[in-house]
Structure 1
Amino acid sequence: MKALSKLMAAIMASSLLFGCSSSGSTEIPTIGVAQLVSHTSLNTIRDAFTDQMEELGYEDGENINYDFADASGQTSNLNSIMSQYQDEDAAVVVAIATPTAQAAANISEDIPVVFSAVSDPVGAGLVDSLEEPGGNITGTSDEVQVDQILDLALQLVPDAKTVGFLYNASEANSVSNLASAKEYCDQNGLTLIEGTGSNLTELQSSASVLCEQVDVLFAPNDNTVASGMAALSQIALDAQTPFFVGADSMVNDGGLGTVGIDYEELGIETANMVDEILNGEKPSAMSVKVFKDDLNIYINQSALDSLGLTLPEDIQNNERLVIVE
């Protein structure tokens, strides 16, 4: 039955997506899939997106074409990528992460845009509201649960008094999370110290300084930080500073822990939204999907052991606990 359902989905997708030009040739829609940089979080979303599209009956080169683009961490490359999608007359643009989505918004009058992994779509100027986006753009949001992550930090390091916040100040999502972290620290009698960097070298320097000043280090789902997690997490470990992060993939890459979503779910829902648009739905009528429920606790066992920390019993017994070996 499952195989038959997939076959019928493929047939329906083909009939909906194949169109004939005046010369009688078949036109296959192009989906532009762009990301700011290659790192585990964004790659997980991209791969889950294409897997789900296949589940929905779309076969690359048969009834859909993908144009994947990576800006190599340079925001200046994003506008060129979007211009290319305009030239190709892409059917939909998938924009992974906030800077990519902001660049894609500039062409959304011409091409429907579905963003993914944008922490604060309203604050980033992408939509009027989560419920009613208002323009030719919608998508999925990985709203970072800063309060719950810092709660986790205090559970593991109950004597902590200072929190280091490591981020790239040019990333709107990180600036939004900084405001949340400041509010949490003010409410809980903690001192927050910022450390910034626009590239890995600068972030490594900031991380080294912070680790001498703070009890715990925290980085949100910052793309520049995520790209350099191997080096940054080692700096924290060498300084014996617990490093809490904003995404499960950043735990996989060396961070101590987080509370959040499975990033594969973002990719799956992004594909579902693209499918709806290809079948006639308007982005302006599609609410932004915010992932903030059914969250997991992710702990890196190796980092935990290296720091000599022990999980409290209530965390050990939590059914949402995911241990990364």
Structure 2
Amino acid sequence: MRSSRLLLTMLFWFATAAAGATQPRPYHVVMLLFRGCEEACQGFQDHFRRQKVPVRFTLRDASQDKRLIPGFVAEAKRMRPDLVVAWGTSVAVATAGRWDAVDPAVHITDIPVVFMAVTDPVRSRLIPSLAGSGRNLAGTLYLLPVDEQLRAARTYLDFRTIGFLYNPAEANSRISLEDLRAAAARVGATVVAETLALDASGRPDPSGIPDHFSALAAAGVDLFYCSPDSFINSQRERITAEALNNRLPLFAAAEAPVAQADGLFGVVVRYDRVGRFTARLALRILQDGVRPGDMPVELPRQFSYLINLHTAKVLERYPPLSLLDVAEFVGDGEGAR
């Protein structure tokens, strides 16, 4: 009996040891963030969990303070993770460098870097083209082309003059304004831009937002375009409230001003979908050994036409019947579809 118990104990020990020996080492993924672990960050992590991929995440958040980013990049270089995720243009450029100005002493070159939530990676010079980076960098898109956004907006309501808040502290804001002006001209519209003032630290001052909207309304703006700028997003409740106060329909390039505030509508790729799409790309690098530089930079195929019914009621600008079968309703209509 004693020998049987000893044999069983030894068998159990060997089985446990064998299981431990075959247990894969968790991947270590460092996520460098700009405005917290929002829906894209959560979607990225959720995809790893759903696929039951062993992983350890280390998160660093700049909280919209660009001065913190270089320190996070230096720390990631020391940690030597399996992969680095860079959220947003400012973080991605600081992490991987512009394709024609990479400094290996400053930027991460010997660890795969994956970016997401970058407004225009080509114009930001992260990559030479959407065909691929040609280096240890891959990423995804998250914005529909502005031409497609404006054509979609026209299916809801007509407009001739588009309002825009320009943030001089953010390169993405300049790119968005340039793209909007070009796309507006192609659909027979013009753009009126109000420039945000900067405070002593060089950050945009939100106190002038009401005056900017009054000026836009006085200029005859009949649609406000809410850009995907991080500061604009952080002020989405104030901005959408001022749009309502001035009876201006607000069209958003990203989901939060409509889904989490009082923007009227937007044609967007949901952030959690962007995160999951980026995670699939990351797993191709980690598990399949695909070279990051050979991967095209693509947009998720699914997008959402968001309409805030509460705002539609306040403005008395109801969607046409043609949109009822394709739109996703938020606000008063949450869960109606």
Could you say which TM-score interval applies, normalised by the shorter chain?
0.7 to 0.9
Give, in angstroms, the shift of residue 83 of structure 1.
1.1
Structure 2 residue aligned with 1:196: 195
Alignment-mate amino acid for residue 322 of structure 1: E
Shift of 1:33: 0.8
- Give the Å deviation of 1:32: 1.0
- The answer to whether the 8 A contact 1:163-1:192 is kept is yes
Runs (4+) off by over 4 Å: 14-17
Contact between 2:206 and 2:235, CA under 8 Å: does it hold in 1?
Answer: no
| Corresponding residue of 1:282 | 291
User: Do the aligned partners of 1:132 and 1:285 also contact (CA within 8 Å) in 2?
Assistant: yes
* Corresponding position of 1:148: 148
Give the drift of 1:156: 3.8
8 Å CA contact retained: 1:144, 1:220: no
Give the match for residue 5 of structure 2. none
Q: Distance in 2 between matches of 1:127 and 1:16?
A: 37
- 1:210 corresponds to which residue? 216
Question: Which residue in 2 is equivalent to 1:252?
Answer: 259
Counterpart amino acid of 1:124?
Answer: S
Which SS does the other structure have where 2:32 is aligned?
Answer: strand
Identify the residue that residue 329 of structure 2 maps to in structure 1. 323
Greater CA deviation, 200-209 or 226-235?
200-209
Q: Does 1:46 align with 2:55?
A: no
Distance 1:50 1:136 in 2: 21
| Distance (Å, rounded) in 2 between the aligned partners of 1:15 and 1:134 | 35
Q: Tell me the CA shift for residue 190 of structure 1.
A: 2.1
Percent of residue pairs identical: 27
One-letter code of the match for 2:60? A
Local SS of the residue matching 2:140: strand
8 Å CA contact 1:200, 1:225 repeated in 2: no
Measured against aligned partners, the alpha-carbon deviations of 1:104-161 in whole angstroms (never above 9, x if no partner) come to 1142313211001223211111112212211111111113332233234444442x33
TM-score by length of 2: 0.80
SS in 1 for 2:168: coil
Of residues 174-183 and 304-313 in structure 1, the stretch that sits farther from structure 2 once superposed is 174-183
Q: Give SS of 1:119's match.
A: coil
- Unaligned 5+ runs, structure 2: 1-18, 98-106, 197-202, 332-337
Letter in 1 for 2:51: L
SS in 2 for 1:150: helix
Structure 1's 153 and 29: CA in aligned 2 closer, same or farther, altered over 3 A? closer
Amino acid aligned to 1:212: A
**Counterparts of 2:214 and 2:63 in 1: how far apart (Å)?**
25
Residue identity in the other structure for 2:268 = G
Residue 236 of structure 1: how far off its partner (Å): 0.8
Q: Which runs of 5+ in 1 are unaligned?
A: 1-11, 19-27
Who wins on radius of gyration, i.e. which is larger?
2
**1:230-241 mapped onto 2 (5 Å cutoff):** 230-241=237-248
Q: Which aligned pairs between 1:11-90 and structure 2 lie closer than 5 A?
A: 18=25, 28-38=26-36, 43-58=38-53, 63-90=54-81
- Aligned mates of 1:212, 1:271 — CA distance in 2: 45
Deviation string for 1:8-61 (max 9, x for gaps)?
xxxx9x95952xxxxxxxxx54211122113xxx61101111110112223xxx
> What one-letter code is carried by the residue in structure 2 that aligns with 1:259?
V
